Amino acid sequence: MNKKFFKVITAGAIAGAACFSIAGCAGTGAAGTDSKATTAATQSTTASVTPAEDNDTLYQVALLQSLTQGYYDGIITVGELKKYGDTGIGTFEGVNGEMIVSDGVVYQALSDGTINKPADDEKIPFSNVTFFEEDGQVKLSNIGSMQELQETLNETVNATGKNMFYMVKIKGNFSHLKVRSEYKQEKPYRMLDEALAADQVELDLNDVNGTMIGLYCPDYMQGLNSVGWHFHFITEDLTKGGHVLEVQIKDAVASYDVTDGFKMCLSDNTDFQKMDLSKNVDEAIKRAETATKE
């Protein structure tokens, strides 16, 4: 986030203008063309900050709650997603592997432990991306667990503002990681936690260099995503990766991007529109994000 932009938007927010918007995207591939976003920009910013706004928006495809309930059909394509961000996480149609977006390239960590670079027409049912602009760094040494990592990063979040979004890129040497991917699901789709309980594949990585991409969502995102941190990893040689279940860091630097805009796109598909997205699936999300095989 650009600091100057942050000040202007904060002033706008106090005056009652909001950057939060929901954008339709199915089949259009057009960012920021919805009237709500245009209105919000006009009300909350001056012309001089307009270019920065696009880079300070966290873009979300659907809801983690729709994915968790088994809506695995693609909503936008890889090619379209890249118009909304160069850094992020997500998954692919049929939950066919874990997505890592780094430096504008979309990677797919497959169930066999390999990394694929999907074609631009590959579809995506859920993802979060942003255009990464570094706002600061945190040095990480001898981090012994996921909890310790989150506590360390939360010191920055709490000092900077816990009600904004954070994308982090953690580059360095990892003494241990347990990552997972999963086999592609076939219809009829199961709940995500049930699919993972059956088809999750785990990989232990020791003493590897690589990049963890992490997203922090504020408390009020419960209902649209998961609250707190969510990390995916890819090795420096781009050969292995997945959703991070366990981590120990020897020495790394976390670069973070503070983001105060949020935009999400939904599907107009009938099956999506029939879903009860008010249903509380918090426990299923927790199992899907953290459970390891016994």
| Residue pointed to by tokens 């570094």 | 134
Q: Report how far residue 87's alpha carbon sits from residue 124's, in angstroms, rounded to the nearest whole number.
A: 15
Nearer to Zn ion, 123 or 243 (CB): 243
The residues in 240-279 that bind Zn ion, with binding defined as CB under 5 A, are 243
Nearer to Zn ion, 179 or 252 (CB): 179
Nearer to Zn ion, 240 or 243 (CB): 243
Q: How many CB atoms lie within 10 A of CB 193?
A: 19
Nearest distance from C-beta of residue 284 to Zn ion, angstroms: 14
Contact criterion met (CB below 8 Å) for 210 and 174: yes
Nearest distance from C-beta of residue 241 to Zn ion, angstroms: 11
With binding defined as CB under 5 A, does residue 180 bind Zn ion?
Answer: no
Residue whose C-alpha is closest to residue 10's, from 248, 258, 184, 211: 258
Nearer to Zn ion, 178 or 243 (CB): 243
Nearest distance from C-beta of residue 40 to Zn ion, angstroms: 29
- Size of interface with Zn ion, in residues (CB under 5 A): 1
Nearest distance from C-beta of residue 277 to Zn ion, angstroms: 19
Six-digit token string for 16 = 């009652």
Six-digit token string for 247 = 């981590």
Contact criterion met (CB below 8 Å) for 26 and 75: yes
Distances in whole angstroms, Cα of residue 78 to Cα of each of 31, 85, 99, 133, 162: 14, 11, 10, 21, 30
Which residue number has the CB closest to Zn ion? Answer: 243
The residues in 187-246 that bind Zn ion, with binding defined as CB under 5 A, are 243
Nearer to Zn ion, 44 or 69 (CB): 69
Binding region for Zn ion (CB under 5 A) = 243
